[in-house]
Structure 1
Amino acid sequence: MTEHVPDHVYWNERYAAATHGVWSGEPNAVLARETADLSPGTALDLGCGEGGDAIHLARLGWRVTAVDISDVALERAAQHAERAGVAERIEWQRHDLSETFPAGSYDLVSAQFPHFRDGTLSPRVLRAAAAAVAPGGTLLIEAHGGPPPWQHDLPDDLTFPTPEETVATLQLPPDEWEILLAERHPRSQRHPHTGELATREDQTVVARRGRCAG
C-alpha cells in the first residue's frame, strides 16, 4: 500500500485484514474515567472505530452518534452494539472528517486519538468538535503526546502538540468555556506484532461549555 491510497480505502483495508478486530472492544480508559460522573445525554463519538466507546456510553444511558471513516469499522461496530443490546441507542454515521462533519449539538463530544494517518491533529476538526458541544456540555480530547518507542520512520517534521497547544488551537472563548484538564500522562501499550509492553505519552484535554454559551 502506498501513501497515495485514499484514507477510507486505507482504513477499510486495515479493518478488513484484522478479522478478530483492530481494537480491544473496551472503552478508552480516559473516556471511562472522565464520563463516569456525567449525567447521560447526547454524545458524539468521533473516530468510533469498532464501537468500544460508543457501546460503553450507550450502556450508561447516553444516546450516541458514532462516526468513522471506515465502512468496515462501522459495520463491525453495529454488530457489536447488537450483541451488547444497545443498538437502539447508537446512530452510526460515515464521515471523512477532513471533508464532512456530523450535524447537531451534543452534551458530550469525544475525540479519542483523532490523528490523521500522518500523525497530525487537524485544527479545523478540533474546532468543529468544540462547536458541536451544547451549552453545559463537555469536550473530551485524548491524543498522542509522542510516538511509540518502536516507531522510528515518522517524518522529520512531525511534531506532537502539548496539551497547552491543543487548548490554544481550539480557540475557546474564555467567557464561554472552562478548561477542566490539560495534561500529559503515560500509558502502557503493547507492540502490535511482538506484544512487548512499552510506555508512551498521551495528552488529555477536557473543557466544559457554559450553559449560557451561544
Structure 2
Amino acid sequence: MLTVHHLNNSRSQRVLWFLEELGVSYEIKRYERDPKTMLAPPELRAVHPLGKSPVIVDNGRTVAESGAIIEYLLHEYGEGRLAPLPGSPDWLSFRYWMHYAEGSAMPPLLLKLVALRIASAPMPFFARPVARKISETLQSSFIDPQLKTHLGFINDELKKTGWFVGDAFSAADIQMSFPLEAASSRSADPAHTAIRDFLERIHARPAYRRALERGGEYLYA
C-alpha cells in the first residue's frame, strides 16, 4: 500500500489530490505542525533525513519533493493521464511549470512569510522599530515587486486557456496549486482574475474535495 506522510497545511495536500485524481489507493500517516514554530515534528526525520513533507513510501521506495513525487506517480500509475506525451508540443511547457512552481514561484512567497514574521516576532521594545523597518524595506524594495512580476506572468498565462498546459487540466495545474493558494492568502490582487478563476475551478473538482476530506485541515483551500 502506498503511504503518504502528510503534514497539515502543507504541500502534501496536493499529493493527496493527485492520488484522488488518479484513483490510486493509499493510506495517510498524519503529522501536525508545532503550533508555536509551525515546523514539522521531528518524527518525520525517521521517514526522510530532512524531516519535511510531502514524502511517500511505495513498494519500499521513499520519494520526497512534490515535483519528484508527482513525476514518480505519473510514471507508476498515470497510464498516460494528466500529462502530455513526451516529445509532444506541450511537453516542454509541462516540464517548465512542474519546475517553476517550486524553483521560481515559491521563493518570493517564502520571503514574504519571513518578512511578516520578522515584523511581528516577540522582541525587546527598543528593537521593534528596527525590525519593522527591515521588514518593510525588504518587502517594498524586493519581495513585493518580485511577487507582482511573477503573479502577473502567471495570470497572463492562465488567461490563454484557463490551464497551465494546453487547454486541459494536467498534473502541472496540481503542482502550481500550492504557490497560488499561498499567494492568494498573502498577496491577492483583485486584478488577477484568471488566477482567482483557476483556484475556483480546482477547488470545485470532486477529487480536490475528496482529498480535503481525507487530509483534514487545510487553510489555503
TM norm structure 2: 0.28
Q: Would you tell me which structure has more strand in proportion to its own residues?
A: 1
TM norm structure 1: 0.29
Task: Work out which structure has the larger RCO, using CA pairs closer than 8 Å and 6 or more positions apart in sequence.
Answer: 2
Name which one, 1 or 2, has greater alpha-carbon Rg: 2
